[in-house]
Amino acid sequence: MASSKGTGYIVLYDLKHKKVVGTLKSSQSVDEMEKEIKTYL
């Protein structure tokens, strides 16, 4: 799992399956982002 920041979004990228699994607005709180990220793990 790797994340990269760009244009106000954080892109979640599934390295194993070589696909983007989601995007999060960087304005979201860290708690919200962690909750969102855990749904992809």
Tens digit of each residue's pLDDT (9 = 90 or more) over 1-41: 565 554 556 677 767 777 766 666 666 566 776 777 676 65
Say how far apart CA 12 and CA 4 lie, in whole Å. 7
Domain layout of the chain by residue ranges: 2-38
* DSSP 8-state assignment for residue 41: -
Other CB atoms within a 10 A radius of the CB of residue 26 amount to: 12
Say how far apart CA 7 and CA 29 lie, in whole Å. 17
| The pLDDT of residue 18 | 75
| The pLDDT of residue 34 | 73
